[in-house]
Amino acid sequence: MLRLAAAMAAALVFAAPAAACAHPRTSMNYLQGQVMCPTCHTTLAMSDSPAAQRIRVFVAKRIAACWTAEQIESALVANYGQGILAAPSHKGFDLLAWWLPIVGVLAGAIVLAFGVWRWSRRKEPEEPDGPAGSGLDEETERRLDDLLARFD
Amino acid sequence: MTSRVKTAAQVLALACVAGLLALLVWSVVHQEHAPGVGATAPAFTLHRLEGPGKVSLASYRGKPVVLNFWASWCEPCKSEAAVLQRDWTTYRNRGVVFLGVDYHDLDSDARRFVSAHALTFPMLEDGSGTVTGRYGISQVPETYVLNRQGRVVAHLRGPITDPGFAGQFQTAIAKAAA
């Protein structure tokens, strides 16, 4: 009976902040992949340094307080600067980091397509000189016949 | 037409390679190194950790400066704090300035640390680590002692409570204040 009461009390304690959230609660796992450890230059998920542990505590408290991922990230940026985020922002100069790879891939695809088109065009006019499309000239054809005749 | 396209492609490829090479050279040249003894300490202006306003290193020109880099999550910084505070109270009357630079830290944690260790010398925040990077700080705590001209007299990579540094720290302050 006591156990049941304790479990219900615990459920109420943990459920209360969850119910108070007006939006889906952001996850620690998600943020650990979005935030960098400032001293070890890996994501939070991959670090167990003292600085990373402090950030984890900071994030956990804000998740419990129903902060959104954006709000938590903004708070961290205000404290540590833009470098705390694993991915660059989607505005200003940072946009280059998102667009340059796409432009690079497109440019590569265009160059590749152009190369293939030129290569296929160069191959097209070459018509076989030999009879019935053997691809050999008359002289080679005759010598090949001679050689094969020796094996008959 | 074809040869013109080929030449243009070659020029473009060469330009790309040259650009990447230039970027590599630039990053190597601009790599941040710790200023050595005798070098001028990199200038900076940082926000105060407690209270509004900024503090510039240049405003202390003419005074010996002890520049201590620390963080609240750093264990050796805790044992060092009391010694720094004691030395600050000893040397402040001789015109020596102590500045603490909190590095890669949460402001709230840093303020709690300052309060818990009753530190009274000016504390500055470098959350992004920009200034710390210019000083080549790799691990906290680290301490620089600068002379009246703003030149490095000593750079101690570790807590000043370290047996190897205790004497060195006092000697450096005496030298900087001379």
Q: Which CATH number does the domain housing residue A75 bear?
A: 1.10.8.640
Could you say which of A39, A81, A111 has the minimum Cβ distance to residue B127? A81
> What ipTM was reported for this prediction?
0.76
- For residue A88, what pLDDT band results from cuts at 50, 70 and 90? confident
Q: Which residue has the higher pLDDT, A43 or B139?
A: A43
Give the residue on B whose Cα is nearest the Cα of A79: B127
Provide the pairing of β-strand B45-48 with B54-56: antiparallel
Are A41 and A80 in the same domain? yes
The model's pLDDT over B101-111, given as tens digits with 9 standing for 90+, comes to 999 999 999 99
In the predicted model, is pLDDT for residue B128 greater than 60? yes
The predicted pLDDT at position B33 comes to 83
Average per-residue pLDDT in chain A? 82
pLDDT band at A132 (very low <50, low <70, confident <90, very high): low
Same-domain pairing of A101 and A59: no
Q: What percent of chain A has pLDDT over 90?
A: 43
Using a CB–CB cut-off of 8 Å, the residues of B that contact A are 2, 9, 71-75, 104-107, 109, 127-130
Which residue in B89, B160, B98 sits closest to B124, CA to CA? B98
A47-75 residue pLDDT tens: 999 999 999 999 999 999 999 999 999 99
End residue of a domain, out of A87, A103, A122? A87
CB B132 within 8 A of CB B138: no
Q: A145: domain range? A: 94-150
**Is 70 exceeded by the pLDDT of residue B78?**
yes
Q: Of B71, B54, B35, give the one whose Cα is nearest residue B147.
A: B35
* Order of all β-strands in the sheet with B54-56: B54-56, B45-48, B123-126, B97-103, B65-70, B142-146, B152-157
More confident site: B58 or A16: B58
Give residue A35's pLDDT. Answer: 95
Confidence of residue A93 (pLDDT cuts 50, 70, 90): confident
- Please give the pLDDT value at position A136: 78
Q: Could you please report the per-residue DSSP string of A76-127?
A: HHHHH-GGGBSS--SSGGGHHHHHHHHHHHHHHHHHHHHHHHHHHHHHTT--
| Cβ contact, residue pair B106, A58, below 8 Å | yes
Q: What is the predicted pLDDT for the residue at A127?
A: 57
Residues A71 and A7 both lie in one domain = yes
Question: From B133, which residue of chain A is nearest by alpha-carbon distance?
Answer: A39
Cβ burial, residue B7 (10 Å; 0-12/13-18/19+): exposed
Residues A112 and A80 grouped into a single domain: no
**Which of A54, A87, A120 is the C-terminal boundary of a domain?**
A87
Q: Are the CB atoms for A135 and A128 separated by under 8 Å?
A: yes
Of all residues in chain B, the percent with pLDDT exceeding 70 is 99
At position B28, the amino acid (one-letter code) is V
**A-chain residue closest to B49, CA distance:** A79
Q: What is the pLDDT of residue B2?
A: 66
Per-domain residue ranges of chain B = 1-31, 35-177
From chain A, pick out residues whose CB is under 8 angstroms from the CB of B73: 50-51, 53-54
Closest to A61 measured CA to CA, from B108, B137, B69, B163: B108
CA distance B78 to A150: 97
Q: Are residues A47 and A99 in the same domain?
A: no
The shortest CB-CB distance from B104 to any of A38, A111, A118 is to A38
Chain A nearest-CA residue for B128: A80
pTM of the complete model: 0.72
Q: From chain A, pick out residues whose CB is under 8 angstroms from the CB of B74.
A: 50
DSSP letter (8 states) at residue A39? T
Residue A119: pLDDT over 50:
yes
CATH match of B35-177 with 3.40.30.10: yes
Structural domain total, chain A: 2
- Quote the CA–CA distance of A72 and A87 in Å, as a whole number: 15
Distance CA B24, CA B11 (A): 20
| Residue A4 predicted with pLDDT over 80 | no
Contacts of A60 in chain B (CB under 8 A): none
B69-93 burial: b if 16+ Cβ within 10 Å, else e: bbbbbbebbbebbeebbebbeebee
